[in-house]
Structure 1
Amino acid sequence: MDILSNPEFIELIPGLPSELGLECLTRLHHSAHRVALRVCNQWRHLFQSDDFYCHRKKTGRARKVACLVQAREQHAEVEKSSTPPSYDITVFDPESMSWDRVDPVPEYSLGLPLFCQLISCEGNLVVMGGWNPTSYEPLTAVFVYDFRTNMWRRGNDMPEKRSFFATGSGQGRVYVAGGHDENKNALKTAWTYDPRSDEWTALAPMNQERDECEGVAVGGEFWVVSGYATESQGMFDDSAEVLDIGSGQWRKAEGVWESGRCPRSCVDIRENGRVVDPGLRIGVCSVRVGSKNFVTGSENEGAPYGFYLVENDEGQKRKLNKINNVPEGYSGFVQSGCCVEI
């Protein structure tokens, strides 16, 4: 539907033709949308409409950004204590090199659960699982953030408690597999979550248990990379299991990962199934954002922690371009992340 054919959106900016008014608002940077929503009811309805979201994508104005589970910077005396860090959601735009934060989840005003999963799905952010920072109890809560309304809503809880599981999204759904239960038993069960209907559906189980695995959705497939079985604690496998999202069938891919290396937050897979090394070894998080990868971590033990951009067309030996002048408050450790198109 043409936005301007909707009688609700007439003369969006007084004194300008409707076409020019729409063009001006379409060019508005996403970080200003939360303010624009409060200008008038017409703008609020426009910014929250599916038609405007589709129009921004069609005209190339939608932005792909990295959303990161990032530790709050702490004072030196706090860092020396045994108190675990608190995490917020940071938004980094590699085009404008701007940094911002998503409003806290209302139930998690003091910080996100430890090791929670952050997934993007059709312009929304989904936060699920993790541990209570005080009791370390595994949580099943699900929260969905809509960038169009800048609001959180509570979703249906995960069907079962699990930690360190793989996640990915494709075709409007979130996929969950592996991890371990409350008794540290590795899991091979899998589920899919639909944020629109707020429903969970069981998938066929994987062929083997995979604890501390990593999930990546690419080209109509959901890859669950590495992990280990209950009796093989810490012995990371070199294989992956791949779900064909269309058929719901799993297949096994051998030799796609380095045996013994933890895959958490650092797996990058191309549509041809090739796994790309992020270029760092310690505390790595790699998020593909359009034509670039946003990568954090250190080259080796004791090396400084850094933030980098990597061009995706540079092959296996890719150059790490350091991001300088990171604003105060945004240099904390990045636990995980995902790409969101706003």
Structure 2
Amino acid sequence: MQRRTVLLLGAALAVSPAVEAHAHPDHPAAPGGTTPVEQGTYRKRWRQLAPIASGPRQEHGVAAVGDKVYVIGGIVPQGSGGITTTGRVDVYDTRHDTWSDAAPLPVAMNHPNVAVVHGRIHVLGGLSGGSAWQALPDSFVYSPRAGRWRRLPSVPAAIVRGSAAIGVHGTRIFLAGGMRVLVPGAGGLQDTVDTVSAYDVVTGRWESLPRLPQARDHAGGAVVGGTFYVLGGRDRGQVNVRDTVHALDLRGRRWSERAPMPTARGGIAAAAVGTRIYTFGGEGRHDGSNPNTVFDETEAYDTERDRWRRLAPMPVPRHGTAAVAVRGTIHIPGGGVLGGGAPVDVNDSYRPAPW
């Protein structure tokens, strides 16, 4: 597969005084609001969709309820340059290719931990702040039918974090890894954790599970069958990206390592369709030579055969986005096209082919 990367070299730091944090330390934000997007070629099961109506978005969460995709929180550009955290929720109708608004998150956050159980959207903490992004314990559940958010008990202090890998099995939401603090600037702290926990939406109880073999944030996550997979990601910085795939047997509660990803990367989007997990984009060079690389890779993992396959690349390479499947089609709204905070309004989809 031909690789097309987007490189940001020698750019000047452009941040508003009010909000000094970026999606990733040492990376400049796009000046002047909107980041230019180089239009890619949509082919081989990729489709260009209506762009996010409210504008660019990055480091958000996504959720699918019925035929609609919800884009939750994240970061958005400021008119004076730089970025800020938002609580905005946009809704994409996959049948009509249109956008609408939903009630905003009661607390603005980026890198939210988002999952859907029984048709309700759960947000279990995330990150927010100014000069440093700190983990938030605030949790909420959204009913699309009622159109409003309801506050849940806060995430316990010992396990609060954002940017966790997420999976759902039955009535439980699983969170693996994530980060508690993200401080911008050279050598800024990125507090990656190996914590693994589960939240039962019926009982409202949290449970601690065996820790990840290695700490991770900005990783992909999915439950297929009775196994929770954590794919790629990074450990304390975007140059420290990983290709490892860790799998937790939810019955035996033991971690094992599976076939590695073809391309090590963090900030990826992941979604499961059937027994396969599809991963999109990301950033970070594995050897540390250039942390500003943004990947166009689309790679799929066959959980039954423990085997990876390279697929048609993303028309618009992005990181800091999220993916969700609706009726077998994977939707990927928003993300960053340059290293760091460079949100765009791109919205596209990928339709997996039978293997």
The TM-score bracket by the shorter chain reads 0.5 to 0.7
SS of corresponding position for 2:192: coil
Instruction: Supply the distance in 2 between the matched residues of 1:212 and 1:299 (Cα, whole angstroms).
Output: 13
Instruction: Supply the distance in 1 between the matched residues of 2:224 and 2:243 (Cα, whole angstroms).
Output: 19
SS of corresponding position for 1:234: coil
The 10-residue stretch of structure 1 (306-315 or 93-102) with the greater mean CA deviation from structure 2: 306-315
Counterpart contact for 1:114–1:133, Cα < 8 Å: no
CA 1:220 to 1:95, structure 2 compared with 1: closer, same or farther past 3 Å? farther
One-letter code aligned to 2:327: G
- 1:179 matched residue in structure 2: 178
How far does residue 304 in structure 1 lie from its aligned partner after superposition? 7.6
Question: Are residue 206 (structure 1) and residue 209 (structure 2) matched?
Answer: no
Aligned ranges 1:237-316 → 2 under 5 Å: 237-259=242-264, 261-264=265-268, 266-273=269-276, 275=278, 277=298, 279-280=313-314, 281-283=317-319, 284-296=321-333, 306-313=346-353
Task: Indicate which of 135, 138, 152 corresponds to 1:138.
Answer: 135
One-letter code aligned to 1:267: A
Q: Which whole-Å deviations, capped at 9, do the CAs of 1:2-61 have from their partners, x for residues lacking one?
A: xxxxxxxxxxxxxxxxxxxxxxxxxxxxxxxxxxxxxxxxxxxxxxxxxxxxxxxxxxxx
Instruction: Supply the distance in 2 between the matched residues of 1:303 and 1:179 (Cα, whole angstroms).
Output: 21
Q: How many residues align?
A: 244
Q: Which whole-Å deviations, capped at 9, do the CAs of 1:262-309 have from their partners, x for residues lacking one?
A: 243x22344444545173222443321112121235896699852223
CA 1:257 to 1:165, structure 2 compared with 1: closer, same or farther past 3 Å? farther
Counterpart contact for 2:75–2:110, Cα < 8 Å: no
SS of corresponding position for 2:160: coil
Instruction: Supply the distance in 1 between the matched residues of 2:344 and 2:180 (Cα, whole angstroms).
Output: 35
Counterpart contact for 2:195–2:211, Cα < 8 Å: yes
One-letter code aligned to 2:102: V
One-letter code aligned to 1:156: P
Counterpart contact for 2:87–2:104, Cα < 8 Å: no
Counterpart contact for 1:216–1:222, Cα < 8 Å: yes
Aligned ranges 1:219-238 → 2 under 5 Å: 219-230=225-236, 234-238=239-243
Instruction: Supply the distance in 2 between the matched residues of 1:153 and 1:299 (Cα, whole angstroms).
Output: 30
Aligned ranges 1:1-342 → 2 under 5 Å: 63-69=66-72, 78-105=78-105, 107-108=106-107, 112-134=108-130, 136-159=133-156, 160-182=159-181, 184-230=190-236, 234-259=239-264, 261-264=265-268, 266-273=269-276, 275=278, 277=298, 279-280=313-314, 281-283=317-319, 284-296=321-333, 306-313=346-353
Instruction: Supply the distance in 1 between the matched residues of 2:277 and 2:323 (Cα, whole angstroms).
Output: 15
Q: Which has the higher helix share?
A: 1
CA 1:174 to 1:90, structure 2 compared with 1: closer, same or farther past 3 Å? same
Alpha-carbon RMSD across the aligned residues, in angstroms, is 3.2
TM-score by length of 1: 0.61
Instruction: Supply the distance in 2 between the matched residues of 1:241 and 1:195 (Cα, whole angstroms).
Output: 25
TM-score by length of 2: 0.59
One-letter code aligned to 2:255: W
Instruction: Supply the distance in 1 between the matched residues of 2:83 and 2:343 (Cα, whole angstroms).
Output: 24
One-letter code aligned to 1:124: R
Instruction: Supply the distance in 2 between the matched residues of 1:173 and 1:92 (Cα, whole angstroms).
Output: 26
Counterpart contact for 1:237–1:257, Cα < 8 Å: no
Identity of aligned residues (%): 20
Higher relative contact order structure (alpha carbons within 8 Å, sequence separation ≥ 6)? 2
- 1:27 matched residue in structure 2: none
Counterpart contact for 2:244–2:260, Cα < 8 Å: yes
- 2:9 matched residue in structure 1: none
CA 1:250 to 1:175, structure 2 compared with 1: closer, same or farther past 3 Å? same
Q: Which has the higher strand share?
A: 2
Instruction: Supply the distance in 2 between the matched residues of 1:299 and 1:227 (Cα, whole angstroms).
Output: 16
One-letter code aligned to 1:224: V
